[in-house]
Amino acid sequence: MPKRRHLPLTALRAFEAFARHGRMSLAADELCVTHGAVSRQVRGLERLCGVRLTHGPRNNLHLTDAGERLARSLGTTFDELERSFLEVTGAGEREIHVSCVGTLAMKWLIPRLAHFHARHPEISVRVTEAYRPVDFAREPFDAAIRLSETMTVDGGTVLTLFDNFAGPVMSPALKPGAVSLRDLAVLPRLNTRSHPQAWAEWAHQARLLLPQTAEHREYEHIFYTMEAVAAGLGVGIIPWIYVAGDIAAGRLVAPFGFVRTPNRFQLILPDETPKKGLARFRDWLLEEAATAPPPAEMALVGA
């Protein structure tokens, strides 16, 4: 048999992760390496290929046509390799692979998985951060959790876990004592780059006229915004489910309560015959979601 040519597997894996996530930082998190390591692998792969696979500024790279073609091929190949490996090892039926929005995974899902493992020690749960619409035909996921206003999935069933509530959250050390809407004109207002309209949406849903502020601070991810809130750097609009524990513990306060948003956290399951254990994970997840405590009502409507 002819000898197989040497393939730059590390570089191909790094490029596939970047293409799937759309960000070097998220690819680096998945691969447990640095942002620079992923960038170097992608640049090296471009030199080996002799074509540009990405274009644009370093902080906002996009795939070229050649990059799109290679990403599609690699995605299919790696998915098939993973399926084959799980079939050979027998691990496929014992592992549930869940695609979940990152902050919900960090602040709600993962802290509760010990309860699931105690009840079903024979089933392993793997969690992957993802935000784009799930495609069970092309991606190796058994279930997905997304935050969306309306959602339909080809070949999938959508179940609501819980409604989404959002409101301004801050550290009690930022301003001891009562907080009024006038304070929002002087306190730093924190924004998340991926959701810059959060403050305007909250004001609209709360039916309040939001005062202007002199200072805005922006963070790339909502969990960065949450850390900035906890550090006393300003006030941020955060979903209730992410901060319920910190508010109960007194580490954060929500002086204006929370308002219901049009979005809901939804569990998406494939219509095809699920692997063993997925029904148990679904039932447990819905049971856990039903115990989520409701937030306080909006406190200062019209103030």
At the topology level, CATH places domain 9-88 in Arc Repressor Mutant, subunit A (1.10.10)
In this prediction, residue 57 carries a pLDDT of 86
Its CATH architecture, for the domain 90-162+265-290, is 3-Layer(aba) Sandwich (3.40)
Give the distance, in angstroms, between the CA of residue 272 and the centroid of all CA atoms in the same chain: 25
CATH 1.10.10.10 maps onto the chain at 9-88
In this prediction, residue 303 carries a pLDDT of 37
**Inter-residue contact 169 to 252 (CB < 8 Å):** yes
**Inter-residue contact 168 to 189 (CB < 8 Å):** no
- Distance, CA of 223 to CA of 30 (rounded, Å): 16
In this prediction, residue 271 carries a pLDDT of 83
In this prediction, residue 89 carries a pLDDT of 57
In this prediction, residue 297 carries a pLDDT of 66
In this prediction, residue 6 carries a pLDDT of 74
Rg over CA atoms, the chain: 22
Q: Which stretches of the chain drop beneath a pLDDT of 70?
A: 1-5, 86-93, 151-152, 273-274, 297-303
Of the CATH numbers 3.40.190.10, 3.40.630.10, 3.40.50.720, 3.40.930.10, which one belongs to the domain with range 164-262? 3.40.190.10
CATH 3.40.190.10 maps onto the chain at 90-162+265-290, 164-262
Residue 201: other Cβ atoms inside 10 A: 16
Residue 267: other Cβ atoms inside 10 A: 20
What residues contact 202, with CB distance under 8 A and at least 6 apart?
Answer: 166, 167, 168, 210, 237, 259
**H or E segment to which residue 226 belongs:** helix 222-230
**Inter-residue contact 264 to 163 (CB < 8 Å):** yes
**H or E segment to which residue 270 belongs:** strand 259-270
Query: Mind listing the pLDDT tens digit for each residue in 66-123?
Result: 999 999 998 888 888 877 776 665 555 678 999 999 999 999 999 999 999 999 998 9
What residues contact 22, with CB distance under 8 A and at least 6 apart?
Answer: none
- How does strand 156-169 pair with strand 259-270? antiparallel
- Distance, CA of 115 to CA of 110 (rounded, Å): 10
With helix as H, strand as E and coil as C, how does 139-170 read?
CCCCEEEEEECCCCCCCEEEEEEEEEEEEEEE
In this prediction, residue 302 carries a pLDDT of 36
Structure tokens at 142: 């058994």
- pTM recorded for the entire structure: 0.68
In this prediction, residue 277 carries a pLDDT of 87
In this prediction, residue 2 carries a pLDDT of 61
